[in-house]
Amino acid sequence: MRGVDPAWLPDGVFRPIGTRRTLIRGSGPLVDTVHTEVAGACARFGGRVDLDAGPGGAAYDLALELTGDGDGSEAFTCGRADGRTTVTASGGRGLLYGLFHVVRLGEAAFQGAYPPELFRPRVALRMLDHWDNVAVHPVMGQVERGYAGGSLFWQDGRARGDLERVRAYGRLLAACGINAVAVNNVNVHATEARLLTDRIGEVAEIAGALRPYGIRTHLSVTFAAPVVLGGLASADPLDAEVRAWWARAVAGVYAAIPDFGGFVVKADSEGQPGPFAYGRTHADGANMLAAALEPHGGTVHWRAFVYDHRQDWRDRTTDRARAAYDHFVPLDGEFADNAVLQIKHGPLDFQVREPVSPLIGAMPGTRLAVELQATQEYTGQQRHVCWLGPMWSEVLRFPVEQGSSVGELARGGLVAVSNVGDDPFWTGHPLAQANLYTFGRLAWQPDADPAAVLDEWIRLTFPDPPEPLTDGLHAVLDGSWRTYEKYTAPLGVGFMVQPGHHYGPSVDGYEYSPWGTYHFADRDGLGVDRSRATGTGYAGQYGKPWSEVYESTDTCPDELLLFFHHVSYGHMLHSGTTVIQHIYDTHFEGVEEVEAAREVWASLAGLVDPARHARVAELFEEQLRSAREWRDQINSYFFRKSGVPDAHGRRI
Ligand code: GCU
């Protein structure tokens, strides 16, 4: 698309296919998409594609064969024998993923011989939640926590008329394995509420643009819809009239969008309406929507992000980290089969470092989805380089209990809050594209090696990269999340950010506020005591071994120490330094690492296209300014609190 960055699908990656002869067998909408892709590649590079019966079958280099009749299955096989690469799939989606697999392999797909291998996603639902508003919100702008411009879907108060960009988005998503998108914000304001009813036609237009790439559309809805849209007196989930209203509303949605995916719901959270107002449980609320969706094959994604945001900060017994578990564990087993409980990966809110949410291991009778945040609300807001692959991989591989990892327990799907907007680079910071790509690939295979995914992203985004470019991009991206952690959030302390917009440091920004996120620093020490023995008891929400590992400072990993314990500044870490010295050291190191990364980027000037290079170079200036600000404020704050000088005598 003109004027828009091709991200990981520049023309060049289609050369190996586009210069060859391809046979496609099968029919259906997704086979048409596969054909369009291959035909486009051949038009650019001089190859040839035949649909079904081409003459002299043996002459093809590539065969893409649909062996079944459904579009449902996502699995495919890929192998090569007798000079021909063959992809087979029983569903159209599988064939499309098979095509992109061949694209990823590049020339290697056409070399030698290799036996057919089966590929299938480990997680059936791989979804992006867009926090996009139709109307521009007075405080949040159009995209809540969006750092890449306006919405891709909504413009001038309605669905974008020209959907070419949305189609291009669907194509990028399919190429990294994403198969579902929720097109509006979980905070459903007045205009957006109507997408469910009289404005469903606009959602249908967007769904129509995403469908050719195997992507199903979902919608965030307000629990109060029967009141605010239907004029009913109540939204009580057990009220027959309310249930009938939802059944009618859902029927209307499916009349407009027959393959509609379902709803996302944020209820009783940060001011959104929910079942508590009627004395009902969240299972009552979710099951009502599940019942309305069930006849049509839809799913409700019910978010577990429920906590008291009007807390008395002086009360050290209330602990926001406990809230999701306390609310939802008693409801385990009560949720309908098509109700999925969607849990943020950590107990608080997408901080740079959090433990895995204990709720994930405590709901064996409930389908769970795990929610990650690609939009970098707390990780540099797409002005800082912060590649989240290693963090997500740690989360997804985390062995919750009895050998089951988070990735395995997420039977209801993996979800990320999207980092995309109408910015020409899609993600604002061009290197933040790597986060979107990595999410898709890890959702397909949660135990994949993130460094290999990064390699793959580099090869696709920068076709035929010379070695210094590959090495340079690795140097800039690979450790960037740990670097960000160093200059912002030591040892599991979070939320030392500016209130409201959450960019830049403010150590006490949330300390004396009702939001429930504190560090409790005083002259003697800092951290939150979440032990069972003397603290909030949060550590006891984990099964073994984690309840014991986190309970004691002897066994708690350094990086989470202050999340679980209040300790003195002189407390000795397992690493052999004191807490206060660790704070100083990491903040100095973090800034040095940003300086080094900026130098590496500068050295890549001739190897990256000028527009991309300039954008990243400019953003590095801001990242460095901000990292220094973080270093100086955090170090000064804790120096003044503790009175302990830096062991290395650096200026603080
Ligand atoms: C965070 C974020 C909000 C968002 C919320 C959510 O609190 O700051 O903007 O609405 O998460 O996930 O619902």
Domains in the chain (CATH in brackets) are 11-119 (3.30.379.10), 126-461 (3.20.20.80), 485-528+566-642 (3.90.1330.10)
Nearest atom within ligand 1 for CA of residue 145: 9
What value does the mean pLDDT take over residues 519-546?
Answer: 97
Q: In 449-485, which positions are buried (b, 16+ CB within 10 angstroms) versus exposed (e)?
A: ebeebbebbbbbbbeebeeebbebbbbbbbbbbbbbb
Nearest one of 192, 109, 95, 68 to 459, comparing CA atoms: 109
ipTM surpasses cut 0.90: yes
Determine what percent of the chain is predicted with pLDDT higher than 90.
96
338 token code pair: 């098509």
Among protein residues, the one with the nearest Cα to ligand 1's atom 2 is 145
Nearest atom within ligand 1 for CA of residue 377: 8
- The pLDDT of residue 55 is 55
Contact 238, 284 (CB under 8 A): yes
User: Ligand 1 pocket check: which of 349, 370, 379 to mutate, most ligand atoms within 8 Å of Cβ?
Assistant: 349
Ligand 1 centroid to 187 CA: how many Å?
8
- Per-residue pLDDT of 607-640, as tens digits, reads 999 999 999 999 999 999 999 999 999 999 999 9
Ligand 1 centroid to 132 CA: how many Å?
12
Ligand 1 centroid to 559 CA: how many Å?
24
Catalytic residues: 270, 349, 377
Backbone angles phi, psi at 217, to 5 degrees: -100, 135
User: Ligand 1 pocket check: which of 270, 497, 513 to mutate, most ligand atoms within 8 Å of Cβ?
Assistant: 270
What does the alpha-carbon distance between residue 284 and residue 282 come to, in Å, rounded to a whole number? 5
**Average confidence score pLDDT of the chain:** 96
Contact 631, 490 (CB under 8 A): no
Could you say which DSSP state residue 152 is in?
Answer: S
pTM above 0.80, yes or no: yes
Look up tokens 């062995």; give the residue. Answer: 399
Beta bridge pairs of residue 51: 24
pLDDT reading at 54 higher than 60: no
Residue 271 burial by Cβ neighbours in a 10 Å radius (0-12, 13-18, 19+): exposed
Nearest atom within ligand 1 for CA of residue 371: 12
Ligand 1 centroid to 195 CA: how many Å?
21
DSSP for 489-548 reads: -GGG----B-TTT--SB-TTTTTTSTTS------SSEE-----TTTS-SGGGGS-TTHHH
What value does the mean pLDDT take over residues 313-325?
Answer: 96
Count CB-CB contacts under 10 A for residue 500. Answer: 10
Contact 160, 153 (CB under 8 A): yes
Q: How far is CA 71 from CA 66, 88, 95, 216, in A?
A: 10, 13, 9, 12
Among protein residues, the one with the nearest Cα to ligand 1's atom 12 is 305
Residues in contact with ligand 1 by the CB-under-6-Å rule are: 144-145, 186-187, 266, 305, 349, 377
Dihedral through CA 507, CA 511, CA 512, CA 515, nearest 10? 130
- Per-residue pLDDT of 208-267, as tens digits, reads 999 999 999 999 999 999 999 999 999 999 999 999 999 999 999 999 999 999 999 999
- Per-residue pLDDT of 547-598, as tens digits, reads 999 999 999 999 999 999 999 999 999 999 999 999 999 999 999 999 999 9
pLDDT reading at 303 higher than 90: yes
Contact 65, 86 (CB under 8 A): yes
Nearest atom within ligand 1 for CA of residue 269: 13
- The pLDDT of residue 52 is 86
Ligand 1 centroid to 152 CA: how many Å?
20
191 token code pair: 């205009």
The set of residues, in sequence order, having a beta carbon less than 8 Å from that of 297 and lying 6+ positions away, is: none
